[in-house]
Structure 1
Amino acid sequence: MEKEYDLIIVGSGLYGCVTAYLAHQAGWRCLVIEKRAFTGGNIRDEIREGINVHSYGPHVFHTRHQEVWDFASRFTPFNHFRYCPLARYGGKMYNLPFNMHTFYQLYGTQTPEEAALRLRQEQGLYPHPRNLEEKAVSMVGRTMYETLIKGYTEKQWGRKATELPPFIIERLPLRFTFDNNYFNDPYQGVPMAGYSPWVDKMLEGTEVRLNTDFLADKDYWMKKAGHVLYTGAIDAFFDYRLGALEYRSLTFEHVLFEQPNVQGIAVINETDSRIPYTRSIEHKHFAFGTQPVSIVTHEFPQTWDKDREPFYPVNDEKNNTLYRQYHALAQRECPHITFGGRLGLYRYFNMDETIKNALEQWEVLKTKLLPA
């Protein structure tokens, strides 16, 4: 019997939107199912008081891949915003990522040689770090760790740094130049019209059903399509049959200020453990706004449960082992379902990585699955 759709995509986050665009361009009959009341997933933004507010935390697009930049730029021009956050600890400000500005602020060093010597003097001797604290101290020393890493990291993950695996901090950047640009990628910016219009352009021509929970009627929807791309949590798809994977969740407090400029920068990381939130985000600076008011968002990490939105996979050994079991289960039982995206693959993706992965997966999909 002919299926109603060639492809059903569950979730309208960036991964699902990229695939929907490619499927539509190929002439596939495609349906996107979204349980929320809006498209875009966690990169959604909305206009408040004339300011484009990033509803689920700050997003800055950046990539070193020409093909990814070319794809992203099909749907919107990007501005020239560069991500140069600050860290706040004990009432003082420090530049991020760790660079010569940071070393001067912490130690008073003025040359790369002085900074490198100070770091060597502070670095702890942990040839085989057992946890994040030992790894961080072996890389940057006790002063920088206590000031700029410990409090932020423990709030973010809800665990003591001595209980976190060392790999979380392995890519900690150290620059011996006066360079505050957080990303090294040649292509950077924020969509000039916003992220929501950006993904909506990808969905043009594709049928979308909002406020629809795929898992509430899974069998019904699976009968309607030749193939399903599922971008939700893989453990939820199997009704947590093997147990629940762990995630970290977030909540956001948006505060309106009757003044044009509150903190003078888009993002401040709150590294002091006495501050309950991890970031302060002043949205207008992503677009160089000149509105007479401003909106600042405080980002609070939360323990995840099944009633909260999962944001970050907790990729420790225990959870990665459980994910591999779910992946094997999917391969055995679900030949007509592709799991993709941050939750389907249980892996954190930057936006450019999401697009790149979706483009690569599409090449696999279109060769093994012919439309009805």
Structure 2
Amino acid sequence: MKKYDYVLVGSGLYSGVFAYLARQNGKKCLVVEKRDHIGGNIYCEEIEHIHVHRYGAHIFHTSNKKVWQFVNELAEFNRYTNSPVANFKGEMYNMPFNMNTFSRMWGISTPAEAKARIEEQKASITGEPKNLEEQAISLVGRDIYEKLVKGYTEKQWGRDCKDLPAFIIKRLPVRFTYDNNYFNDLYQGIPIGGYNVIMEKLFEGCDMEMGVDYLEHKEYYDGLGERVVYTGTIDGYYGYQFGKLEYRSLRFETQVVDTDNYQGVAVVNYTDRETPYTRIIEHKHFEFGTQPKTVITREYSVDWSEGMEPYYPVNDERNQELYQKYAALAEKEDQVIFGGRLGEYKYYDMDKVIESAMSRVEKELG
């Protein structure tokens, strides 16, 4: 008999949900985490009595009632609504693209006028869009593309929109109403007290080992558990034997500012190419904070290389083909479960990570 039923590699949301449900079924879990804290990328740290999202803004949203009930059993959620603003060289526009955006851009006031303007500009693209630029213009017209899509997207991906495949932007949300709510989901909010409240509950009762690289001691940890739940990079697990999958990474610059309100909203996207960062996050607005000071984070999108934190899988065709080779190896594993954004090489929202972990546990434990 091994000491643990499950050795969970990584302490993000997938691991947390898996561990929580496994523990409810009487299973013993060990968590092995490379960082010095639990919570993966939704970890918050407290600065100036503000819960700072250390790895970028995380806003919980879902239309899945079961998932919403699950997270609300772990923490109470506030009524935060994601309504980011775009800054193009000092011109401010509401996101997602809606009547407030169109009114500001074109000085118009009715949905009919906005539709006519977009249709007129879309006409320049004929036939199947050949790249991201053509795809975006065919969806929202040239003015919105030039001011609110082009620079931001090029910073995010580190290449020109003409060199990016069209399928990256399959759709851009366009609303002909005066509604700044970014998400269409039924439920939305931020846990009161930050995400750590949820993560601590998810891992309650588990044994934890922090600051440990599982892959460096793989044999030892494999010997401790009946099964391994692996949430690191799938190509890393297999020693990059088919080559490395590509990711985008992020760099954050966080500072305390001696004012009670820096930008008036939690998230401002900088959509011109010249501003080096993609957005500024002002964390207090996630929880309607009234602290005398504020904390802001500038977020930069950067090329990933080994040793850096991988954030976004680059889901182009080449990488998808490569991932399928690793997925075929993973299929044959009896003792290892691959999960989460890195284990499944998928850009997952938080609710989808929870859904994925729930269905995997159900399959495992019935």
Alignment TM class, shorter chain as reference: over 0.9
1:90 maps to 89
1:142 maps to 142
Aligned counterparts of 2:314 and 2:263: Cα–Cα separation in 1: 31
Secondary structure of 2:256's aligned partner: strand
* One-letter amino acid of the structure 2 residue matched with residue 177 of structure 1: T
1:282 maps to 282
Q: Deviations over 1:106-165 (max 9, x none)?
A: 111210001000000011324311211110011111111010000000000111111112
> Are positions 1:164 and 2:172 aligned together?
no
Aligned counterparts of 1:13 and 1:127: Cα–Cα separation in 2: 43
Structure-1-length-normalised TM-score: 0.97
Aligned counterparts of 2:77 and 2:349: Cα–Cα separation in 1: 17
> Are positions 1:52 and 2:51 aligned together?
yes
The answer to whether the 8 Å contact 1:277/1:301 transfers is yes
Aligned counterparts of 2:207 and 2:364: Cα–Cα separation in 1: 19
Q: How far off its partner does 1:101 sit?
A: 0.4
Aligned counterparts of 1:126 and 1:256: Cα–Cα separation in 2: 49
* One-letter amino acid of the structure 2 residue matched with residue 36 of structure 1: R
1:14 maps to 13
The answer to whether the 8 Å contact 2:139/2:171 transfers is no
Q: Give unpaired runs (5+ residues) of structure 2.
A: none
1:77 maps to 76
Identical positions, percent: 50
Q: How does 1:195-274 map to 2 (within 5 A)?
A: 195-274=195-274
Q: How far off its partner does 1:171 sit?
A: 2.6
Q: How does 1:287-366 map to 2 (within 5 A)?
A: 287-332=287-332, 334-366=333-365
Q: Is the deviation greater in 357-366 or in 64-73?
A: 357-366
* One-letter amino acid of the structure 2 residue matched with residue 335 of structure 1: D
1:370 maps to none
2:115 maps to 116
Q: How far off its partner does 1:348 sit?
A: 0.5
The answer to whether the 8 Å contact 1:126/1:135 transfers is no
Aligned counterparts of 1:159 and 1:237: Cα–Cα separation in 2: 29
* One-letter amino acid of the structure 1 residue matched with residue 182 of structure 2: Y
Aligned counterparts of 1:223 and 1:241: Cα–Cα separation in 2: 23
Aligned counterparts of 1:210 and 1:236: Cα–Cα separation in 2: 19
Aligned counterparts of 2:293 and 2:272: Cα–Cα separation in 1: 27
Aligned counterparts of 1:168 and 1:26: Cα–Cα separation in 2: 40
Aligned counterparts of 2:206 and 2:221: Cα–Cα separation in 1: 17
Aligned counterparts of 1:116 and 1:293: Cα–Cα separation in 2: 43
1:102 maps to 101
Q: How far off its partner does 1:224 sit?
A: 1.6
Aligned counterparts of 1:221 and 1:163: Cα–Cα separation in 2: 43
Q: Deviations over 1:232-268 (max 9, x none)?
A: 0000001111100000000100121111011000000
The answer to whether the 8 Å contact 1:266/1:282 transfers is yes
Aligned counterparts of 1:343 and 1:63: Cα–Cα separation in 2: 21
Aligned counterparts of 1:87 and 1:226: Cα–Cα separation in 2: 49
Aligned counterparts of 2:211 and 2:24: Cα–Cα separation in 1: 25
Aligned counterparts of 2:168 and 2:94: Cα–Cα separation in 1: 21
Q: How far off its partner does 1:55 sit?
A: 0.3
* One-letter amino acid of the structure 2 residue matched with residue 57 of structure 1: G
> Are positions 1:43 and 2:42 aligned together?
yes
Q: What's the RMSD between the two structures over aligned residues?
A: 0.9
Q: Deviations over 1:161-192 (max 9, x none)?
A: 11112122113100000000001111110000
The answer to whether the 8 Å contact 2:98/2:176 transfers is yes
Aligned counterparts of 2:360 and 2:146: Cα–Cα separation in 1: 42
Aligned counterparts of 2:136 and 2:342: Cα–Cα separation in 1: 28
Structure-2-length-normalised TM-score: 0.98
Aligned counterparts of 2:4 and 2:292: Cα–Cα separation in 1: 49
Secondary structure of 1:67's aligned partner: helix
The answer to whether the 8 Å contact 1:14/1:351 transfers is yes
The answer to whether the 8 Å contact 1:126/1:134 transfers is no
Q: Give unpaired runs (5+ residues) of structure 1.
A: 368-372
Q: How far off its partner does 1:221 sit?
A: 1.0
